[in-house]
């Protein structure tokens, strides 16, 4: 097999030294790769690139289809976006795969108790609150939008079941909060069970995410593959890293249909940068995931085995190991791994060829359904320090006859027409107006109603309320009574 070119970004802080250590191991194993080193991270931000990557880096990754990256720092403040999140979202690496296994020689509560851990978290990587869509509604109220889509959910859930098959797991568990976020997490959970029907050989089950966290802490061995939405998956992934020794032992793969990113998920540790103290294990394990994905499993297995053998023999950097006084430096750790390499495990069989991405003519539009959608109302987000009853009086005085004011809420709790004087208020209300007729009302008319009310209310934002095939697709307020829609 001829060498395959991949894009490599060394990263910030300890990134360059751990990447050099990993590439030294790759070189010793004669991995058939060549590297296009690209500029990404804090140094690029400092040069004025607000995306954190140069145009040349973007072109390189879209040409090779593989980005192997060290940890990167995003400057604080200034409204700049995380380079890590930007890379994942720009190239639609929809599934984050993190594998957590007990490593002999890395002491944890569970390893000391003789309880082996072997589980994989599959985290949605594009949507959720990681869209970073936020704004101030008033001086006291900030709002973040949480976006969950059915096509995006389908992508990551399929990845979870495919990962389970590849790893030999028998169960996939969906972690969720559909008991509270009934529409967003509800869609994710519904999609999970729809996709599960395509994999009858795998048992599908679900668990509320807070119960999941509790059970992971006392019985992680009961889980194999867990799929979650983005924010919940981020939190649970780090929890699981703690079960096996920390982020320094947690590999990460970000898989898309065209481009894949493999990275260390720990920080840049600037306090030890350049001191030959950093632990390259996470990046090396991520590298073995990369080799496996590229069809170079023989190399990945040999390198992983050498790493585990070195650790088992007591070789360690200063951040782990029982005898910290006997720790070795970053490059010494890499050399110890190289000594354990068994090149006989790397056979001459023809591995799966890795295919570079084909440049697309346009962005892919993902649409999964063709149900009937009807606009049935509008939510007006208003700034006011008045009481809800006073706001209701104003709204009702200026409503069209085919519309009605159904509820006014504050922080999601109904305060009109019914409520409690013990509900504390902030200066943002949601005024909900719905049609009071069976006839269809065009979306434009709801907008015209909002414009008319703008003369009397300080409207900061609006949301259209829809039904799909006659079913309500917007949440009720806490304390709101249910009408005929289901």
Q: Is the pTM here over 0.85, yes or no? A: yes
- Is 486 among the domain residues? no
Whether the Cβ atoms of residue 133 and residue 85 lie closer than 8 Å to each other: no
Q: How do residues 355-374 score in pLDDT, each as one tens digit? A: 778 888 899 898 876 788 99
Interior angle at CA 228, CA 461 and CA 164, nearest 5:
150
Q: Cis peptide leading into 417, omega within 30 of 0?
A: yes
Instruction: Tell me what the mean pLDDT of segment 94-103 comes to.
Output: 95
The lowest-confidence range among 77-86, 267-276, 406-415 is 77-86
- The CATH number of the domain where 266 resides is what? 3.40.718.10
Query: How many structural domains does the chain have?
Result: 3
147 and 86 in a single domain? The answer is: no
- The CATH number of the domain where 413 resides is what? 3.30.70.1570
Whether the Cβ atoms of residue 435 and residue 441 lie closer than 8 Å to each other: yes
261 and 364 in a single domain? The answer is: yes
Domain boundary, last residue among 369, 388, 423:
369
327 and 397 in a single domain? The answer is: no
- Is 248 among the domain residues? no
45 and 117 in a single domain? The answer is: no
Residue 453 in tokens:
């009310």
CA distance 430 to 419: 14
Write down the pLDDT at residue 74.
79
Q: How do residues 314-337 score in pLDDT, each as one tens digit? A: 999 988 866 666 899 999 999 999
- Is 237 among the domain residues? no
Candidates 113, 127, 381, 80; CA nearest to 230 is 127
- Is 386 among the domain residues? yes
Domain boundary, last residue among 330, 351, 369:
369
| Domain that includes residue 217, residue range | 102-232
266 and 214 in a single domain? The answer is: no
DSSP codes joined into one string, 281-322: HHHHHHHHHHHHHTT-HHHHHHHHHHHHHHHHTT---TTSSS
Write down the pLDDT at residue 36.
97
**Location of structure tokens 């395509």:** 198
Q: How do residues 147-161 score in pLDDT, each as one tens digit? A: 999 999 999 999 999
330 and 389 in a single domain? The answer is: no
pLDDT band (50, 70, 90) for residue 482: low
Q: How do residues 428-468 score in pLDDT, each as one tens digit? A: 999 999 999 999 999 999 999 999 999 999 999 999 999 99
Per-residue pLDDT at 349 exceeds 50: no
Write down the pLDDT at residue 49.
85
Whether the Cβ atoms of residue 371 and residue 467 lie closer than 8 Å to each other: no
**Location of structure tokens 């481009």:** 259
């Amino acid at each position: 097999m001829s060498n395959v070119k991949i894009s490599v970004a060394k990263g910030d802080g300890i990134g360059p030294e751990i990447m050099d250590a990993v590439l030294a191991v790759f070189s010793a194993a004669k991995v058939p790769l060549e590297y296009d080193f690209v500029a990404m991270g804090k140094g690029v931000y400092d040069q004025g690139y607000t995306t954190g990557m140069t145009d040349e880096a973007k072109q390189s990754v879209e040409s090779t289809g593989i980005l192997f990256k060290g940890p990167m720092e995003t400057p604080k403040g200034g409204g700049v976006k995380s380079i890590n999140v930007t890379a994942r979202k720009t190239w639609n690496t929809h599934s984050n795969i993190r594998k957590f296994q007990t490593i002999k020689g890395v002491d944890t509560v569970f390893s000391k108790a003789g309880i082996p851990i072997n589980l994989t978290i599959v985290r949605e990587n594009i949507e959720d609150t990681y869209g970073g869509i936020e704004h101030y509604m008033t001086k006291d109220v900030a709002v973040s939008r949480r976006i969950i889509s059915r096509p995006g959910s389908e992508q990551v859930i399929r990845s979870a079941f495919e990962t389970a098959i590849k790893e030999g797991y028998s169960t996939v568990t969906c972690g969720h909060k559909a008991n509270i976020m009934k529409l967003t997490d509800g869609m994710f959970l519904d999609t999970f069970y729809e996709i599960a029907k395509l994999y009858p050989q795998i048992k599908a089950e679900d668990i509320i995410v807070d119960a999941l966290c509790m059970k992971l802490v006392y019985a992680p061995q009961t889980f194999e593959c867990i799929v979650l939405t983005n924010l919940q998956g981020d939190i649970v992934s780090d929890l699981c890293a703690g079960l096996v020794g920390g982020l320094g032992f947690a590999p990460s793969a970000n898989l898309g249909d065209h481009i894949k990113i493999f990275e260390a998920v720990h920080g840049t540790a600037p306090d030890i940068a350049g001191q030959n103290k950093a632990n390259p294990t996470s990046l090396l394990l991520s590298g073995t995931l990369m080799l496996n994905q590229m069809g170079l499993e023989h190399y990945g297995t040999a390198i992983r085995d050498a790493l585990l053998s070195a650790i088992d023999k007591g070789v360690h950097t200063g951040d782990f190991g029982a005898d910290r006084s006997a720790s070795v430096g970053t490059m010494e750790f890499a050399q110890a791994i190289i000594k354990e390499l068994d090149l006989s495990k790397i056979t001459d069989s023809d591995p799966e060829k890795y295919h570079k991405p084909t440049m697309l003519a346009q962005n892919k539009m993902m649409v999964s359904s063709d149900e009937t959608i009807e606009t049935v109302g509008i939510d007006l987000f208003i700034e006011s320090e008045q009481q809800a009853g006073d706001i209701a009086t104003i709204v009702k005085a200026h409503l069209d006859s085919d519309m009605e004011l159904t509820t006014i809420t504050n922080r999601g709790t109904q305060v009109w027409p019914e409520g409690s004087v013990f509900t504390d208020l902030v200066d943002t209300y949601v005024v909900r107006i719905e049609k009071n007729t069976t006839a269809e009302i065009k979306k434009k008319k709801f907008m015209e109603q909002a414009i008319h009310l703008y003369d009397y209310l300080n409207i900061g934002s609006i949301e259209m309320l829809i039904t799909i095939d006659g079913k309500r697709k917007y949440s009720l307020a806490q304390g709101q009574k249910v009408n005929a829609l289901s």
